[in-house]
Amino acid sequence: MYDDAMSAIHKHLIQKSMNTKMTYTAELIPEQHSSGEISWRLTPKQDHLVCFLGGSLMLGATRTGALIHPVSVPPQEGELSETGERDWKTGIELVKTCMETHDTATGLSPEIVHFRIPSDGMGGNMMAPADWYIKGARRGEFPPYDARYILRPETVESLFIAFRLTGDIRYRDHGWRVFQSIETHCRVETGGYATVVNVDEVPVRLEDKMETFMMSETLKYLYLLFDDSRTLPLDKFVFNTEAHPLPIFNPTIRTGFS
């Protein structure tokens, strides 16, 4: 089931940006026609939510794509299958893209980015971004939802997993920069952290709101990124969607998946 899903993602959603060939995931949007038929439109849009996928692909490559167990840190030549190699490389590139989306005035990633495509009508605009951009509001209007940073954890989740699987210090370096940006722009004097309305605006405007995943996920993954790998090792625990660690166990009863 996992291999089928990852192959479908690679076949239909994984794209490259126009200029620097950044790897990103597009969205398939259903459109219903007057005849009742439904077609699918590929949209060059990536939510911050998708940034969990890079780390998850790397982790999956060392599990379902492994030819030996355990896999080295980082995996060595011949340790991964062909699909494992594919997922590992795509995972690394997706993490890199998500790191690039933090290249904003605040150092924080927006809720949604769009990637340039030839038909976007910006070809002759010298001010147009090279690869990705945040859809802005008209002059004088409140910034759109796309421009917000609402304390999401997905990028730092992937950084944590990537560091555990590679030992590459660049993932810690980037995580530290993200943490410093959160401390600088999101922390409020009265306690807690708040949503940034526009990641490309300094000084920032804040919304009086802190999502619960800031404490349960974002800060947890940042802590684990810098903690010893013996704390909640990835070969003994699985993190669910809300970052709750669940111990891996071998069932003693027959299951429908055996």
Pairing of strands 195-196, 132-133: unpaired
Whether residue 127 is predicted with pLDDT greater than 80 in this model: the reply is no
Domain annotation covers residue 42: yes
Q: What is the distance between the alpha carbons of residues 154 and 100, in angstroms, rounded to a whole number?
A: 14
Q: Which residue has the tokens 């410093």?
A: 180
Angle between helix axes 154-166 and 52-61 (nearest 10 degrees) is: 30
State residue 137's pLDDT score: 61
Domain annotation covers residue 213: yes
Domain annotation covers residue 254: no
pLDDT tens string 206-219? 999 999 999 999 99
pLDDT more than 70, % of the chain: 96
Domain annotation covers residue 252: no
Band (pLDDT 50/70/90 cuts) for residue 252 is confident
Q: What is the distance between the alpha carbons of residues 104 and 61, in angstroms, rounded to a whole number?
A: 31
Residue-number span of the structural domain to which 218 is assigned: 2-241
Domain annotation covers residue 224: yes
The tally of domains found in the chain comes to: 1
State residue 139's pLDDT score: 63
Q: What is the distance between the alpha carbons of residues 74 and 62, in angstroms, rounded to a whole number?
A: 10
pLDDT tens string 83-97? 999 999 999 999 999
Whether residue 258 is predicted with pLDDT greater than 60 in this model: the reply is no
User: What is the distance between the terminal CA atoms of the chain, rounded to a whole angstrom?
Assistant: 13
Which range has the worst mean pLDDT, 59-63, 117-121, 251-255? Answer: 251-255
Which range has the worst mean pLDDT, 36-40, 83-87, 134-138, 237-241? Answer: 134-138
Domain annotation covers residue 249: no
- The sign of the torsion formed by the CA atoms of 164, 52, 48, 117 equals positive
Band (pLDDT 50/70/90 cuts) for residue 34 is confident
Q: How far is CA 137 from CA 41, 128, 134, 156, 209, in A?
A: 24, 15, 10, 28, 21
Domain annotation covers residue 257: no
Peptide bond into 70 cis (omega under 30): yes
Which amino acid belongs to residue 204?
A: V
State residue 124's pLDDT score: 66
* Catalytic residue IDs: 111
Domain annotation covers residue 148: yes
Give the CATH number, domain containing residue 211: 1.50.10.10
State residue 109's pLDDT score: 97
> Which of helix, strand or coil describes residue 139?
coil
